[in-house]
Amino acid sequence: MTPYAPHLETLVESSHPNGGWGYSPGQPPQLEPSCLGLLALELEPVRYAQQIEKTRSFIAQNADDDGSYRPLHGRAEAIWPTSLVLFVKAALGLTGPELERTAAYLLATRGRVPDQPEAGELHDIDLNLVGWPWAERNFSWVEPTAWACLALRFVGQANHPRVEEGLRMLLDRAMDDGGINYGNRLILGKMTDPIPGPTAMMLLALQGDAHPRVAAAVQYLLSQINTEDIEHLCWSKIALDLYRHRLGVNEALQAIDSHILAANAKRRQTGWLKPNCYRQALMVLALGVETRNFFRMAAQGWEGEAPAEPRAIGSAGASPSRSPSFFARAGSWYRRLLLKGASLLRAMPANSSVHIARADRYDIDLVSILQKQFEHFRATVPLKDKRVVLKPNLVEWHRDKVINTDPRVVGAVIELCKREGAAEIIVAEGPGHWRNVEYLVAESGLGEVLKQHQIPFVDINHDEPIKSPNMGQLTGLECLYLSRTIAAADVVISLPKLKTHHWAGATLSLKNLFGTLPGIYYGWPKNELHWRGIDNSIVDIALTRTPELAIVDGIIGMEGDGPLNGVAKPFGALIMGHDLVAVDATCCRLMMLDPDKIGYLVLGAMKRLGRMKEAEISQLGEAIASLAQPFETVPHLEALRVRQSA
């Protein structure tokens, strides 16, 4: 029996009855897990002929007339799976007009070039190198660019100017010391960290290139194979298999299967993780590379061999972006007008009190503190018999930084919900920086808390998206796609860290809501929400699905270059409230920041999301003056605000 056979059988059992896979069993099928699942099935095409036909049929249903592949019942602008479909069809040897139309669409698709004058000052990458975006009319990022370059090379376009530019972009954004992340090497003078998944994708796209950064990326992946994370291990094996001629790779590949199997066994024992079809398909492909590595370019030589001339591909037209009809535009205008009118009638929060409690350490009885605080909000936000979703702030994991909501605070809130009689408790997060949230949960210590309390975790980035009218109408987006877990909750509790933010000024319970939109529709990082205006996006999301409660981890905060590179700020408080604008305004006053200079708070108050003025907020527990401490912010923030207001 082949190493992948039992795992392939498990994958088949979790497929959707009508073909394809969702990211988790029971979800509607999505293009990415279905594309990887189709490749996995093709390892044994005779045995799984029926499932192959069903999956191909599902993928075909997502085809658009322009050659792109868009979510069948989701956000049409999310075009990045187009490259995956083209790659899969080419890797399986398919040809014909459909492939040419898809290739033409990709060749005509370009990422946005940043138009902010300060963008070039803050990064060390060439922003004029254009790759491919996650969604139409957005910026270029590593993963969609790598997929597009890989797919187009597979259909004979290795020497096309767009592909050459995309490959140069990948090399430009790679680290000299090895690896790559989603696109930024340097932010405000500080280096970012590479990530195994995007690094593997870069190596797949660049196979055959002799650039020193390719060699450094191989060495980086070799240094990461002792991890216990399946996703990192599987992408690493698939990519390293293409670089067997490099020193140390063969030896690593001999050991990596045992790491993958051990990681899979450990994953099943966590108790907080659901089965994951995407990871299951990826594991089958990694364990099956000795049978067939679908990512290998059979006609591609190694260093020094010139690529073939590109085959002629028909034109996709002047612009691959779809333009809505006159009637669609008129209908959209009318709906937006109704939504704006509805916002004027929005009722202000029923309880704008904010409770501040002293909590000097994480190892004290946090549950008792929270219970005393919650007495003031129980009537407004009852938890008994409710489906409660806790949304912590989990951005990245660094052992020496206090970036995330402390797991002990999350554990205390779980216990509070249990004592209040919640019917169901779920912890959910969708980070914008790291796609592999399972790694973050495990490494941060949150996984142990979830296991202790037997609480499930939902990866919002890959959750089923629910189309919702955008109740704020500030970003220009008529609708927002929320996670079903968030949309269906009776009570959502935002659990942020008390931190400054190098763009927004402060990141608290409202900014935490960026993690409620699935990355499969908004990308990694969720940059579209930034260029549409951070303040606008925050308020739009909050008005569309307003959390019922906020509890801010202010025991140890972060000041300076937050949300990632600031320094720890011992503060000693937990802050709770039902009105998130009031909570965040109070937190700003505790950090001695002026709420009137925090754009999303001003907007939120204007849009009747909540109360910002100190005189309108009933401060309970500790007085602000008794705890307030100045938090440092980055020097450029004030200058940026001046430029934006000019």
Given a contact cutoff of 8 angstroms between Cβ atoms, the answer to whether 627 and 495 are in contact is no
Q: What is the pLDDT of residue 316?
A: 44
Tens of pLDDT, residues 314-340? 544 434 556 666 555 666 655 666 666
- Quick: pLDDT tens for 350-380: 899 999 999 999 999 999 999 999 999 999 9
What backbone torsions phi and psi does residue 145 show, to the nearest 5 degrees?
-70, -45
Q: Residue 180 is which amino acid?
A: I
* Percent with pLDDT over 70 in the chain: 90
For residues 129-153, one letter each, b for 16 or more C-beta atoms within 10 angstroms of the residue's C-beta and e for the rest, the string is bbbbbbbbebbbbbbbbbbbbbbbb
Average pLDDT score, the chain:
91
pLDDT at 106: 98
Q: Over 522-560, what HEC string results?
A: HCCCCHHHHHCCHHHHHHHHHHHCCCCEEEEEEEEEEEE
Give all domains of the chain, ordered by start, each with its CATH number.
5-287 (1.50.10.20), 349-645 (3.40.50.11440)
Reduced to 3 states (helix: H, G, I; strand: E, B; else coil), residue 644 is helix
Q: How far apart are CA 428 and CA 457, in angstroms?
A: 6
Question: What is the four-CA torsion angle of 325, 331, 334, 340, rounded to 10 degrees?
Answer: -90
Residue pair 22/33 in contact (Cβ under 8 Å)? The answer is: yes
Separation between Cα atoms, residue 22 and residue 33, nearest integer Å: 6
Which residues, at least 6 apart from 432, have a Cβ–Cβ distance to it below 8 Å? 395, 514, 515, 519, 524, 525, 526, 529
Place 346 in a pLDDT band, splitting at 50, 70 and 90: confident
Percent of the residues in the chain that have a pLDDT greater than 90, as a whole number: 82
Burial 242-257 (b: 16+ CB within 10 A, else e): bbeebeebeebbeebb
Split at pLDDT 50, 70, 90, the class of 114 is confident
pLDDT in tens, 434-477: 899 999 999 999 999 999 999 999 999 999 999 999 999 999 99
Question: Beta-carbon neighbour count of residue 44 at 10 Å?
Answer: 19
pLDDT at 130 over 70: yes
- Summarize pLDDT for 299-309 with one digit per residue, the tens: 543 333 334 44
Which pLDDT does position 322 carry in this prediction? 62
Distance CA 113, CA 140 (A): 8
Residue 215 pLDDT exceeds 50: yes
Number of Cβ within 10 Å of residue 582's Cβ equals 31
Distance in angstroms (rounded) separating the CA atoms of residues 192 and 195: 10
pLDDT of residue 336: 65
DSSP string, 162-200: HHHHHHHHHHHHS-TTS---SS-SEETTEEPPP-HHHHH
Residue 635 has pLDDT above 90, yes or no: no
Average pLDDT of the segment spanning 605-619: 97
Over the stretch 23-40, which tens digit does the pLDDT of each residue have?
A: 999 999 999 999 999 999
DSSP 597: G
Nearest Cα residue to 525 out of 171, 279, 195, 202: 195
Q: Which residue has the tokens 């004979």?
A: 156
Position 333 scores a pLDDT of 59
